[in-house]
Structure 1
């Protein structure tokens, strides 16, 4: 598993004074100390904060327009998730048009161990199944979810992109025509009415002794209930875990036709490779390394299935 934290995090003191004051007004008291948190790749602040009244919260804040757009969508989605869902409760937002901050309840939990511990992986898989049941049909406004981040092989067929892909995944270049063909014919993609997390990897999960909490929802989309399970399982290869027995056992994947998992793996890996190959020189290297590793893991599972 590559480093699972973005390389462009900010500290509390690096935020403008106006933004810090706005966040404190949102929280209703002064911030005494902050602890930057691992996990996830959004730019800006991502920290647990200790408050003057003895309480705590988790705060993320960003300025860059693209990141701020993700934060605004996450705030809108989080505000509409059911109270019983295993997700952090949104306390409020600060948005001055330049900086945006989200404050969530502080979760007593940590990122799951990597490589995976068997008990924690089972705990997370059970929670994903429970989430799918709870979020079917999608409980949020239909205009909020993002488009699924799937597909991208066609963009890698040009000479330069093909050469770049060959350096990362030679097998994908050998099967590029087949991968493009699947991408062109996959059913619209994975239709359904379940609200999916859309970015379900170990760095977006917190575990404790008695529960699992799924964090960071800006990429949520609506589709087939098994999609998050396949995404999570595809990443287990980075821990040396064979995902196939887990897929054969999970209630959301054990009855699927082989092509349903294959098609999702194709489109999932295509998005990751395309993003990594076509990213400009200013892209966060930590994020690109993670995308490449996750894409290779998905491709290895696909290779074993084809």
Structure 2
């Protein structure tokens, strides 16, 4: 937390006066202080706000005409149905002054440390299992099917094969297994394997989690929700454990110990998911914007390749640097 927002995000003082006034009216008191979390990739406001009456909320906001405003609308919709055991409560949302503002329960704490032996690993795994239990069946009737995201994830290895060389280390591995990767990166098979009736977060990372003072973790930033198979959120989370320093084998074991859906996940479906997600990261790291997002995608792609190699029994890739 800091008193100035990250470079890619606005601060309270950047909001139109009509918006700040509407927030203060809704809270019932003027703003006293504001802190800004680091991290995140969207261009909207994210702030922990304290008011003169002693109340505290976590505020998110975006201009309604911004290209990412749909993510905030989606988060407002899902926030209305999420149980407080897995996510901070959505207190209210309001559209005013050309902005969409969301107010959440303010929770103490920060992102859990997922490195081997850290205290945050167990609670983070527990919330992955809790998501499966509390969000099946899907409590959001109009949640989009995961099929849409599956088709976006899959198919990128074919693009990568025709896009020329990148860094020598990781792509020597990709070249060696090119035919296998393209064959496993099957959109139709991924759609079938990931279909289901659970509400999914679809973006579980340490910086989308809060480890609270009570030792429990809650998931935040529900902008990518979809309805799909119960094991999918665990599959999104596994590379984050690898990024934090676990081997893929240990990450698999940790999930199997804490997340029942992971133990029941289809072997071929999980491998296909790992291939598709890693292809997506690899393609967008190569062709998308640079900066923090591009660097993250590059690191995540390396973690994904390690996971694929473990799952498929292939030679491990040579990592660049994490």
Q: TM-score range by the shorter chain?
A: 0.7 to 0.9
Partner of 2:196: 192
- Check conservation: 2:48, 2:58, Cα contact below 8 A: yes
Q: Distance in 2 between matches of 1:169 and 1:28?
A: 57
**Structure 1 residues 7 and 253, CA gap change in structure 2 (3 angstroms):** farther
Partner of 1:225: 230
Structure 2 residue corresponding to 1:238, chosen from 231, 238, 243: 243
Q: Distance in 1 between matches of 2:261 and 2:271?
A: 15
More relative contact order, 1 or 2 (CA 8 Å, 6+ apart)? 1
**Structure 1 residues 26 and 171, CA gap change in structure 2 (3 angstroms):** farther
Structure 2 residue corresponding to 1:296, chosen from 295, 302, 308: 302
Matches within 5 A, 1:104-123: 104-113=104-113, 115=115, 117-123=117-123
Partner of 1:68: 69
Q: Shift of the alpha carbon at 1:130? A: 1.5
Partner of 2:317: none
Q: Distance in 1 between matches of 2:286 and 2:245?
A: 25
Question: Does the alignment pair 1:205 with 2:209?
Answer: yes
Partner of 1:277: 286
- Check conservation: 1:153, 1:176, Cα contact below 8 A: no
The unaligned stretches of length 5 or more in structure 1 are: none
The alignment covers a number of residue pairs equal to 297
Question: Does the alignment pair 1:253 with 2:262?
Answer: yes
- Check conservation: 2:59, 2:102, Cα contact below 8 A: yes
TM-score by length of 1: 0.87
Q: Shift of the alpha carbon at 1:37? A: 1.0
Q: Distance in 2 between matches of 1:20 and 1:71?
A: 18
Question: Does the alignment pair 1:305 with 2:306?
Answer: no
Runs of at least 4 residues of structure 1 off by over 6 A? none
**Structure 1 residues 174 and 135, CA gap change in structure 2 (3 angstroms):** same
CA deviations 1:205-263 (Å, max 9, x no partner) are 00123321110101011111111112212211122212132244342223434323211
Partner of 1:153: 156
Q: Shift of the alpha carbon at 1:96? A: 3.3
Q: Once superposed, what is the RMSD of the aligned Cα atoms?
A: 2.5
Q: Shift of the alpha carbon at 1:265? A: 0.6
Q: Distance in 1 between matches of 2:161 and 2:246?
A: 34
Partner of 2:82: 81
Partner of 1:176: 178
Q: Distance in 2 between matches of 1:26 and 1:169?
A: 53
Q: Distance in 2 between matches of 1:284 and 1:19?
A: 32
Which piece of structure 1 moves more, 144-153 or 266-275? 144-153
Question: Does the alignment pair 1:267 with 2:276?
Answer: yes
Q: Shift of the alpha carbon at 1:158? A: 6.2
